[in-house]
Amino acid sequence: MKFWTTLAGAVAPTQRAFALLCSTILLAASFATAVNHPLRAQESQDTDASEPSANIPLNSLVKAVFEEDRELRTVTGELVALDPKFGQLILDANGHLTAIAPSELKRIEELPGKLVPTTAKELANKVLAIMPSNSKSIITDHFVVCYNTSDAYARWNANLYERLYKGFYRFWKEKGVELSPPRFPLVALVFESKADYLNYATQEFQGAENTIGYYHQATNRLASFDLTGIEDMLPAGASVAREELINQILSRPQAERTVATIVHEACHQIAFNSGLQTRLGDNPLWFSEGLATFFESPDLNTQNGWGGIGKVNWHNFQNLKRYLPVRPKDSLEQLLLDDNRLRSGDTMTNGYAEAWGLTYFLIKSKPKQFAAYIKILRERMPGNQSTPKERIEIFQRCFGDDLGKTDKEFLRFLQNVH
């Protein structure tokens, strides 16, 4: 069984210049994308009592045996979602989500007790087992960083993650949005080379060669590699002070996009583990990527290269300025209802720029309405995807019925960004 996979990842600059680097979410076919067949609670009258798990309450600890690629597999975890047509979604102790189609399920039983998350140390050992042999780990307050780069480069990444984490929670508390502590340690894999990165990433999804980093909603892991090439400058086995390495990194031409990518992908991971967003839930792509680009804004004049939250993302702002003269009148509507604008190579740059701009506008000028919008989306169960019509209706419910008026306000707001 190849279950659905949702990724948030940074697309590599292949045909285009490095400045066009941006992120995308890739969706494989699965029951999570069946927009007209939302996952339903066990108590729903639509639930088929003949299903093996029909009498098992949601959030129960279960053990399921299923067939995948003609082999039997077993998963133990929390039953987080169920749909009679599309199967079960189970969360295990490592924070992984496994979807099981009805045709593949052999048996499932409820177990006593509750799910106990794997400890950070145990999780580090599990991840190191699938990384290059010379890999090590750093355990911080909230992250498990497994790496085969220099200690200094890995520590720089870890410090960026923690700084973002603290700022993220503080920001949403000030906006009146309640968040929860992550249930699981946040795992980040940092590879020395793109070859090492691809050796790992290609086992998780197709098209990894076109990415430079991603957050995987199913495995709950963040993966990236050294985008600066700084490791090639270091003598083998050299001991380099973190401050010296940071200065070298931030002086390189690709520094701005390096910082943006690291923070962007970590933002996805924190958002999906804090309760701001629901993993495999109802997450329009403009919203997910707008949030990440809002938080990613680098500031190379600061100690770590990232100056905090809410600053203008000049990379996306300049792209948006170039787009405005040719922007169609229905651009806002299309952004809301069509994820493909942020997936297609021809429209991706403009799509990301507008997603950032819209998010920046809404958070700055309509914070209470934005908080209400977040609440609606995150309360929808995993797999409960809105139809295009519903997406527009949810947006209008929070920000006003007149999209044309909202669009004019958006464009006027952009004129005063500086």
> What integer pLDDT is reported at residue 339 of this predicted model?
94
Q: Tokens 């995807």 correspond to what residue?
A: 385
**Selection from 237, 341, 357 nearest residue 297 by Cα:** 357
Average confidence (pLDDT) over 255-278: 87
> What integer pLDDT is reported at residue 270 of this predicted model?
96
Average confidence (pLDDT) over 165-185: 95
Which regions of 192-260 does DSSP assign to beta strands (E)?
211-216, 221-225
> What integer pLDDT is reported at residue 345 of this predicted model?
84
Phi-psi region of 85 (alpha: psi -120 to 50; beta: other; left: phi over 0): alpha
Residue 7 parent element (H or E): strand 6-11
Average confidence (pLDDT) over 135-156: 94
Whether the per-residue pLDDT at 27 is higher than 60: the answer is no
> With contact defined as beta carbons under 8 Å apart, do 296 and 280 qualify?
no
Query: Which of the four pLDDT bands, split at 50, 70 and 90, describes residue 39?
Result: very low
> What integer pLDDT is reported at residue 418 of this predicted model?
82
Whether the per-residue pLDDT at 381 is higher than 70: the answer is yes
Whether the per-residue pLDDT at 285 is higher than 90: the answer is yes
Query: Which of the four pLDDT bands, split at 50, 70 and 90, describes residue 190?
Result: very high
Average confidence (pLDDT) over 212-226: 93
Query: Which of the four pLDDT bands, split at 50, 70 and 90, describes residue 230?
Result: low
Could you please report the per-residue DSSP string of 65-78? Answer: EEEETTEEEEEEEE
Average confidence (pLDDT) over 175-187: 97
> What integer pLDDT is reported at residue 48 of this predicted model?
45
Q: Compute CA distances 7 → 22, 182, 221, whole Å.
A: 14, 19, 10
Query: Which of the four pLDDT bands, split at 50, 70 and 90, describes residue 141?
Result: very high
Whether the per-residue pLDDT at 150 is higher than 80: the answer is yes
User: Residue 196 and residue 205: Cα distance in Å, rounded?
Assistant: 15
Mean pLDDT of the chain: 82
Looking at per-residue pLDDT, the higher value among 326 and 226 belongs to: 326
Q: Which of 137-146, 230-239, 261-270 has the lowest mean pLDDT?
A: 230-239
What share of the chain in percent tops pLDDT 70? 77
> With contact defined as beta carbons under 8 Å apart, do 312 and 360 qualify?
yes
Looking at per-residue pLDDT, the higher value among 41 and 298 belongs to: 298
Identify the bridge partners of residue 7 per DSSP, sorted by sequence position: 26, 216
Per residue in 320-374, pLDDT (tens digit) is 999 999 999 999 999 999 999 998 888 999 999 999 999 999 999 999 999 999 9
Query: Which of the four pLDDT bands, split at 50, 70 and 90, describes residue 121?
Result: very high
Query: Which of the four pLDDT bands, split at 50, 70 and 90, describes residue 396?
Result: very high
Average confidence (pLDDT) over 259-285: 92
Q: Which of 27-41, 223-237, 250-264, 367-381 has the lowest mean pLDDT?
A: 27-41
Domains of the chain: 6-30+120-415 (1.10.390), 31-111 (2.30.30.520)
Q: Which of 53-62, 228-237, 327-336, 384-393 has the lowest mean pLDDT?
A: 228-237
> What integer pLDDT is reported at residue 51 of this predicted model?
61
Per residue in 287-321, pLDDT (tens digit) is 999 999 999 875 545 555 556 677 888 889 999 99
Average confidence (pLDDT) over 185-205: 94
How crowded is residue 219: how many other Cβ atoms within 10 Å of its Cβ? Answer: 18
